[in-house]
Amino acid sequence: MSDNANSVNIKHSARGYHHGALRPALIDAGLTLLDGRAVDDLSLREVARRVGVSPTAVYRHFPDKQALVGALCEAVANDLAAEQKAAHDTVMAAGGSLRAAFAAMGQTYVRFALAHPARFRVMMSAAPPVAPSDMVRPDGEQAVNRAMQQLRACVAELLPPDASDKARDIAAIRAWSLVHGMAMLMLDGMIPPDEAIIGSLNEDLDLLGSATAR
Amino acid sequence: MSDNANSVNIKHSARGYHHGALRPALIDAGLTLLDGRAVDDLSLREVARRVGVSPTAVYRHFPDKQALVGALCEAVANDLAAEQKAAHDTVMAAGGSLRAAFAAMGQTYVRFALAHPARFRVMMSAAPPVAPSDMVRPDGEQAVNRAMQQLRACVAELLPPDASDKARDIAAIRAWSLVHGMAMLMLDGMIPPDEAIIGSLNEDLDLLGSATAR
DNA sequence: TGTACATCAGTGAACGCGCGTTCACTGATGTAC
DNA sequence: TGTACATCAGTGAACGCGCGTTCACTGATGTAC
């Protein structure tokens, strides 16, 4: 879905696109444009332009710009989830430990962020920053969280059977925080995007896993 | 500097502000406006408006908007550094361990982000997101890093004397990543901003300290 | 102490820009009889 | 098979908006003689 397919020229008839073909094309164009632009520099008009369609046409498929961005967010979350799953499965298929598979997922997370900074950021913008007054999650942006279920599931398996649900939650949050923080600091240029640093996650994730087992 | 001082009405003469008084007032107004707006919704014109000055006046003190934002970034970094130092010193003064002081700094970091989401974000935007082509840090935005020296210094003290420089770097990066990731995930509404979760940093930072000591 | 003058922090009007969104419309597609 | 018609995904012009930045300017301040 996020493949760099040249989404222009998929017109097939004078009418325009085959039924339902414009929506995925718009999402694809949006993702492609995000490789080079900052998140806030992405405009509805630009997406339409890239697909070769008038800005108005977008409104046939999304109620407004926010909905378009929401669709982008979901697409990115799905891509990341797929890459994480692949990393996990590859390690397991090669006879690796569950912990090794867990670490591989974390490293995939960071590498994904580095490979697609703006996509990664738009994914995190799904849930709008908490407003000062309402800290409650506005729900509806659960695509990312769905993607994170894998991580939770993996963490849960790493913990001893008698671990409480709360212990599992905390462990997952710790792991996600570590990996997410490293990704963000690298994206923001605060720490160098070195593979050596990403590699150090192997040990950390291990630690986080065993530590919470207590 | 970031205190919520009412920066309007500091005019003293028909001429306008006392020599050099506008610049800090603009920074102060910018910080205040960031409590309620998203980072990208902050405009130069709005900052000027709040101080009660024409947009053009800003250009007497900053070459362009980016310079204004850079000044905001630096101010926030200094505020955070001050709060971290205070947290550290308070623990130490109460006879706490160096590790406890270290953990207190980390928790202060997260709480600061929660208290001032947009300020925190503008601080991280100091270094523009790494462009696809040039991964090199554009330097000049070292205010944040200067603020992080404290953390590095504290981590260094926690490590055994024979630890290599690289080990110290990695340890500091781990700690910063964990704490930063938690802050960002909370700001983005991905995990609840619970004090219980922030409290769990006590154990984690401990672990990171001892783990890297190996 | 007074006058002439350079400095410089402000003003206010204007610019061009791209944006998200709305409107009335067009014309091909697919369906009912 | 042919005709009438509803559907609906597109068009293109237009809107109002606030933005960052520029321009020529004004007028108080501080200094030199």
Q: Which residues contact B28 (CB under 8 A, 6 or more apart)?
A: B1, B2, B5, B7
The C-alpha of B41 sits at a distance from chain A's nearest C-alpha, in angstroms, of 10
Chain B residue with CA closest to A188: the answer is B129
Cα B107 to chain centroid distance, Å, stands at 13
The C-alpha of B127 sits at a distance from chain A's nearest C-alpha, in angstroms, of 6
CB of A180 less than 8 A from some CB of B: yes
Predicted TM-score (pTM) of the model is 0.87
Angle at CA B164, nearest 5°, toward B158 and B165? 85
What pLDDT is recorded for position A203? 77
- Please say if the pLDDT value at position A202 is more than 50: yes
What pLDDT is recorded for position B156? 86
Between A148 and A141, where is the model more confident? A148
Residues on chain B touching A208 (C-beta within 8 angstroms): 204, 207
Residues on chain A touching B103 (C-beta within 8 angstroms): none
- Please say if the pLDDT value at position B84 is more than 60: yes
Between A210 and A53, where is the model more confident? A53
Measured in degrees and rounded to the nearest 5, phi and psi for residue B31 equal -65, -45
- Please say if the pLDDT value at position A173 is more than 70: yes
Lowest mean pLDDT of A87-91, A126-130, B65-69, B81-85, name the range: A126-130
Tell me what the mean pLDDT of segment A159-173 comes to. 89
Q: Quickly count helices (H) and strands (E) in chain A.
A: 10, 0
Between B132 and B183, where is the model more confident? B183
% of chain A beyond a pLDDT of 70: 78
What pLDDT is recorded for position A1? 42
Which pLDDT band holds residue A95 (cuts at 50, 70, 90)?
very high
Amino acid code (one letter) for B181:
G
Give tens-digit pLDDT for A64-73.
Answer: 999 999 999 9
What pLDDT is recorded for position A102? 94
State both tokens at B67: 């310079």
Tell me what the mean pLDDT of segment A127-142 comes to. 45
What pLDDT is recorded for position B21? 87
Cα A15 to chain centroid distance, Å, stands at 35
Which long-range contacts does B149-158 make (Cβ < 8 Å, 24+ apart)? Answer: B150/B81, B150/B84, B150/B85, B150/B88, B150/B105, B151/B84, B151/B105, B151/B175, B151/B176, B154/B88, B154/B98, B154/B101, B154/B102, B154/B105, B155/B102, B155/B209, B157/B98, B158/B98, B158/B99, B158/B102, B158/B209, B158/B213
What pLDDT is recorded for position A131? 42
CB of A205 less than 8 A from some CB of B: no
- Please say if the pLDDT value at position B212 is more than 90: no
Q: How far apart are CA A46 and CA A55, in angstroms?
A: 8
- Please say if the pLDDT value at position B165 is more than 90: no
Closest C1' nucleotide to B15's CA: D28
Which residues in chain B, range 44-83, keep a C-beta under 7 Å from any nucleic strand D atom?
Answer: 44-46, 55-56, 59, 64-66
The beta strands (E) that lie in chain B are given as: none
List the one residue out of B185, B126, B198, B76 whose CA is nearest residue A129. B185
State both tokens at A123: 């994914």
Q: Which residues contact B104 (CB under 8 A, 6 or more apart)?
A: B87, B88, B90, B91, B96
Residues on chain A touching B125 (C-beta within 8 angstroms): 188
What pLDDT is recorded for position B81? 94
Between B129 and A115, where is the model more confident? A115
What pLDDT is recorded for position B117? 96
Q: How far is the CA of A16 from the C1' of C26 (A)?
A: 13
The C-alpha of A153 sits at a distance from chain B's nearest C-alpha, in angstroms, of 16
CB of A76 less than 8 A from some CB of B: no
Q: How far is the CA of B60 from the C1' of C6 (A)?
A: 18
Is residue B156 classed exposed, middle or buried when 0-12, 13-18 and 19+ CB atoms within 10 A define those classes?
Answer: middle
Q: Residue A98 in contact with residue A112, Cβ under 8 Å?
A: no
What pLDDT is recorded for position A141? 53
